Amino acid sequence: MRNARALIIGGGIGGLTAALALQQKGIAVSVYEAVAKLGEVGAGVTITPNSCHVLNHLLGEDVVASICHVPVSGAIKHYLTGETLIDTRRGDGPKLQYGANYCQVHRADLHETLAAAVRANDPDCLHVAHRFVGLEETATGITASFANGATASGDVLLGCDGIRSAVRRQLWGDEEIKFTGFVAFRGLVPTDRLAPEFLEPDSAAFAGRGHTFTRYKVRHGELYNFVAFTRRDEWAAEGWSEPGELDEMLAEFHDFAPEVQAIMRAVPPDQLYKWGLFDRPPLDRWTKGRATLLGDAAHPMTPFLAQGAAMAIEDGLIMARALEAADDWQEALERYEAARYERGTFVMCESHVNAERIYKRDPDKIDRKTHRNAESLGLYDYNPVTVEI
């Protein structure tokens, strides 16, 4: 269905991946983003082999290598002693086993790279300051309307607008967005602020009692990205990137190893954020008429399998492949949902299971037999470039 026009609501990583994939299939696409300036806040993103296949396919391996850091060494450590419990050394192992790297990237770098590639194909593709407010479907197409009075029409509409998706609300009505009880402090630390003994291994997760601290390198080792997870009874803030307070974080993780304390104390004040994790119930289906959902709008992920960005990236390419393969829009959306619903919902649910497993575990009894992650679930074996749709 190469003569189709797709409307994408949401200019995040999932929306831009879908846009670039559609462009490369020769399908016309326009992206509409609510904010006035396209961009992402500073944070790290893990790109596992299943999603790295997509980025290599769309951007080229050289471009991906230029923005991503491949961790040579890694470990799961005891929160109190800093002792290595599990060696998670990767290096070129994932590429040899799965055909693509396990790597980490600054979210803004990935977002900017995708946006630049989309603009290179069509300078007029991206539209900012367009807050989606409604849609109308006819026998010949679908029209989106925006708060600024603009409208846009196409053959299909893809809601890529995150966990608080306005497209999802338009299709399925109001739903409860539930606080999960998890809060994350996250920040970026210049590595030159840290003593050499705190720079190895490349990535590490410190397993505590009801707390976890994860840190890894981005921008080829210039920065450390860290995320520190804990529990809260409630969360009132609407944003996902509230400014964080250093004293609060230090008090919460006061008994963690000296390495963790050093990284926390080195974070610049304007690079510390606090993030409440929210959830929505699984949908029975993602598609209604000519509209469907991608990424967190369809299957909001908690970060406990490091698959949120990966699933959105997978969705984007599969959507483009489905439109290319189909004779009409109905077939395209059916192919897309048939290929993605089971996997997306499974990973969404398993991320919650892993969260509870992590926060109930005894750090004194962790070993490779009890450790569970996306790889042990077989998620890395999936290649969106070649999987049947």
Q: Which CATH topology does 5-176+280-381 take?
A: FAD/NAD(P)-binding domain (3.50.50)
**Mean of pLDDT over the chain:** 93
The amino acid sitting at 128 is V
pLDDT digits (tens, 9 = 90+) for 211-267: 999 999 999 999 999 999 999 888 766 555 688 999 999 999 999 999 999 999 999
pLDDT digits (tens, 9 = 90+) for 105-125: 999 999 999 999 999 999 999
**Can you tell me the distance from the alpha carbon of 181 to that of 159, in angstroms, rounded to the nearest whole number?**
27
Half-sphere exposure of 121 (CA within 13 A, CB side): 23
Domain boundaries, the chain: 5-176+280-381
The amino acid sitting at 378 is G
Q: Is the pLDDT of residue 375 over 60?
A: yes
Which of 20-24, 364-368, 377-381 has the least mean pLDDT?
Answer: 364-368
The pLDDT value recorded for residue 236 is: 63
The pLDDT value recorded for residue 3 is: 86
The pLDDT value recorded for residue 153 is: 98
**Residue 326 pLDDT grade (very low, low, confident, very high; cuts 50, 70, 90):** very high
- C-beta separation of 32 from 7 below 8 A: yes
Our separate counts of H helices and E strands in the chain read: 10, 19
Dihedral over alpha carbons 372, 376, 380, 382 (to 10 degrees): -120
pLDDT digits (tens, 9 = 90+) for 87-106: 987 889 999 999 999 999 99
The pLDDT value recorded for residue 11 is: 97
**Residue 2 pLDDT grade (very low, low, confident, very high; cuts 50, 70, 90):** confident
Give the mean model confidence (pLDDT) for residues 350-373. 82
**Residue 37 pLDDT grade (very low, low, confident, very high; cuts 50, 70, 90):** confident
Count of all residues that appear for the chain in the document: 389
**What residues are labeled active site?**
216
**Residue 173 pLDDT grade (very low, low, confident, very high; cuts 50, 70, 90):** very high
Q: Is the pLDDT of residue 278 over 80?
A: yes
Beta bridge partners of 288: 291
Q: What is the pTM of this model?
A: 0.95
Give the mean model confidence (pLDDT) for residues 318-337. 97
- C-beta separation of 79 from 213 below 8 A: yes
DSSP 192-249: GGS-GGGS-SSEEEEE-SS-EEEEEEEGGGTEEEEEEEEE-S------SSEEP-HHHH
- Backbone phi, psi, residue 260, to 5°: -65, -45
